[in-house]
Structure 1
Amino acid sequence: MRAIVMTETGGPEVLVAREVEPPRPGAGQILVRTEAIPVLYPETKVRAGAFPFPAPLPAVFGFQAAGTVTELGDGVDPALRGARVVASTTGYGAYAELVVAEADSVTVIPDGLATEAAAAILMPGSVTLALLRTAAPAAGETVLVEAAATGIGSLLTQRCTALGARVIATAGGPAKARLAREHGADAVIDHTAPDWSERLAELLAGSTVDVVFDSIGGDSVQPLLDLVTPLRGRIISYGWLSGAPAQLGAAELILRGLTLTGCAGTAWLAEVAGQRAAALAAAADGTLVGTVDAVLPLAEAAQAHRKLEERVAMGTVLLRP
């Protein structure tokens, strides 16, 4: 079968299309013939060596794939045969025509939701629902969504607007700012501008932000602290687009009566996994509306990674076997 093999850690060029032996499902596993493979931002960090790869190299790359279950291992519910699913792997093996996954890791795609749409929405949708449960934004509150043109950022903007919150979004450049407005943002600030926090203060005109969804990390939150509502302001830190988590000390939060929730680690990943079925259901009924930037041939996996790292993608990038 055709697959994308990671030969070593490094740039996108280490992702190479090769013919490999097709996998076979073991006990408790299923085999999926893939139709759409989402390219996820965290995968670019794994490929680059920022996080350890969970298998000896070279190995087939990829975290998730959507398609049809064609074979069952021992002990698997027969009802899964022929089902359309999004499969989540243990960190490798998904960039391929055939993918083996644990049966309890798959999410069945609801009727009425296209396979490509399911592949595109599962990760950003499940993270978004987990973030909303954590932050609990309410009608009338002011919410700041950083990097609102990303998959998660756009969904947060949509849902917070629908909940009746005032959404101030940040985005890098005019095209992404337009996308954030299309998703319902009341105002958009270019976070690549050095004085963007001053622009936020002008927009607030003496009011404050109740919830900050921080996907940038690094020093991005530091200038915002005095603009967050004292005693009930919530900073939800879930991304490191800057390359590092939010750089804050406990005293800086305590003296302002603020909370920062770090969305990472085993418990957080379990929370996100628990939202997968709900994310697909929400996509099926139109509550969550994802955006697909491009659908590329499987062999162009390296190009897909470049699009994400150069931040030119305006939505999810999919690979098609």
Structure 2
Amino acid sequence: MKALRCKALGPASQLVLEDVAEPALGPGQVLLRVHAAGVNFPDTLIIEGRYQFQPPLPFSPGGEAAGVVAAVGEQVKGFKIGDRVMALTGWGSFAEYVAVDQHQVLPMPGTMDFTTAAGFAMTYGTALHALTQRGRLQPEETLLVLGASGGVGLAAVEIGKALGARVIAAASHPDKLAVARQAGADEAIDYSQASLKDEIKRLTAGQGVDVVFDPVGGALTEQALRGLAWDGRLLVVGFASGEIAQLAANLTLLKGAAVVGVFWGAFAQRQAQANAANFQRLFAWHATGRLKPLVSQTYALANAGQAIERLARRQAVGKLVVQVVADAQA
């Protein structure tokens, strides 16, 4: 099979397309014929050895995929050859086949094509878990989404609106904010042109926001914390800026606020039933058109390294997807 391989830790330009053997199938695993694979921020880290989980070299990056079940291992229940599924693989999806534990596999809803499904699980699963289980977002509360034009940011904008919140999108360029507005954002902040804290104050009449969804990190995190309302919740989702904020603890005391970590992958494993219920909710919203995932660009398998580079430079809008087979939109 063809696979894009990381043979030495370093930039995406070092990834190579090779012919390799199909992965061995262990008990409780499903062999997936990959039609499409989503590109996510962890892919930019794992190839450089900077992610919290590190596979041995050589390996294929790619943490999520959609395709057809090609084989099932012993002890697998609920899946059969030919099923259309989406899967969270951790790594290995930038290949024609990937073996994945059955608990990391979900049936694809009939409303999705492979390209959409390949980019759905990680962003929407993260955003819904963050806003509900971790952020306790309520109808008519105000939600601030940082990095609002990225895949997980746009998912948070859409889900925030579906939950009945007022959504303020924040990003670094007017074009990115236009995409967030199309996804349903009520207000927008260009934090490359104005102080995030001051704009929050202006847009909330000095009251602050109830929940901050922060996949960016860096200097923006403290500004967002200062912009929280009483009993506000700052959701730490990721660090796309490359910097981890060092926060003043007294700010949480003065605002009665909470800084809450969001680790969706661990939640999905530890609370599988709650995660499954989240996805039933997401699939229902998608079926009725309330969620409209944006795949802004697709790449051939041989060019998947270019997608990783684009994401690392924070140039991506919505999701980038690798189409491993030509009919990935079928």
TM-score normalized with structure 2 length: 0.89
| Partner Cα distance (2:24, 2:157) in 1 | 41
Moved more, 1-10 or 96-105: 96-105
| Partner Cα distance (1:205, 1:127) in 2 | 30
| Partner Cα distance (1:199, 1:70) in 2 | 52
Q: What is the aligned partner in structure 2 of residue 158 from structure 1? A: 158
Q: Name the SS for the 2:220 alignment partner.
A: coil
Q: Is the 8 A contact 2:129 2:264 kept in 1?
A: no
Q: Deviations over 1:95-152 (max 9, x none)?
A: 1111111122211112232122111111111111101212122222222111111112
Moved more, 295-304 or 269-278: 269-278
Over 3 Å counting, the alpha-carbon distance change for 1:281 and 1:149 in structure 2 is same
| Partner Cα distance (2:48, 2:237) in 1 | 20
1:320 to 316, 319, 323: 323
Q: What is the aligned partner in structure 2 of residue 191 from structure 1? A: 191
Code of the residue aligned with 1:303 in structure 2: it is Q
Q: Name the SS for the 1:294 alignment partner.
A: strand
| Partner Cα distance (1:249, 1:271) in 2 | 31
Q: What is the aligned partner in structure 2 of residue 309 from structure 1? A: 312
Q: Does 1:120 align with 2:119?
A: yes
Displacement of 1:312 in angstroms is 1.9
Q: Does 1:149 align with 2:152?
A: no
Displacement of 1:208 in angstroms is 1.9
Over 3 Å counting, the alpha-carbon distance change for 1:190 and 1:84 in structure 2 is same
Code of the residue aligned with 1:312 in structure 2: it is Q
Q: Provide the aligned length of Structure 1 versus Structure 2.
A: 319
Displacement of 1:69 in angstroms is 0.4
Q: Name the SS for the 1:233 alignment partner.
A: strand
Code of the residue aligned with 2:290 in structure 1: it is T
| Partner Cα distance (1:251, 1:196) in 2 | 20
| Partner Cα distance (2:279, 2:203) in 1 | 37
Structure 2 unmatched runs, 5+: 325-330
| Partner Cα distance (1:209, 1:87) in 2 | 34
| Partner Cα distance (2:109, 2:225) in 1 | 42
Over 3 Å counting, the alpha-carbon distance change for 1:6 and 1:53 in structure 2 is farther
Code of the residue aligned with 1:99 in structure 2: it is V
Q: Does 1:54 align with 2:57?
A: no
* Aligned 1:48-197 pairs, distance under 5 A: 48-51=48-51, 54-77=54-77, 79-89=79-89, 91-133=90-132, 134-193=134-193, 195-197=195-197
| Partner Cα distance (2:78, 2:212) in 1 | 45
Over 3 Å counting, the alpha-carbon distance change for 1:68 and 1:137 in structure 2 is same
| Partner Cα distance (2:262, 2:254) in 1 | 22
Structure 1 unmatched runs, 5+: none
| Partner Cα distance (1:147, 1:94) in 2 | 25
Q: Name the SS for the 1:60 alignment partner.
A: coil
Q: Does 1:292 align with 2:295?
A: yes
Over 3 Å counting, the alpha-carbon distance change for 1:52 and 1:158 in structure 2 is closer
Code of the residue aligned with 1:308 in structure 2: it is L
| Partner Cα distance (2:217, 2:268) in 1 | 19
| Partner Cα distance (2:265, 2:84) in 1 | 27
Shift >4 Å, 4+ stretches: none
Q: What is the aligned partner in structure 1 of residue 245 from structure 2? A: 246
Displacement of 1:284 in angstroms is 3.4
Q: Is the 8 A contact 1:110 1:281 kept in 2?
A: no
| Partner Cα distance (1:126, 1:195) in 2 | 30
Q: Deviations over 1:9-50 (max 9, x none)?
A: 111112111111122322221211111111111111111221
Q: What is the aligned partner in structure 2 of residue 209 from structure 1? A: 209
| Partner Cα distance (1:164, 1:106) in 2 | 30
Over 3 Å counting, the alpha-carbon distance change for 1:170 and 1:101 in structure 2 is same
Q: Deviations over 1:55-77 (max 9, x none)?
A: 32122222222100011222223
Code of the residue aligned with 2:65 in structure 1: it is A
Pairwise CA RMSD = 2.2
| Partner Cα distance (2:120, 2:73) in 1 | 27
Q: Is the 8 A contact 2:32 2:69 kept in 1?
A: yes
Q: What is the aligned partner in structure 2 of residue 23 from structure 1? A: 23
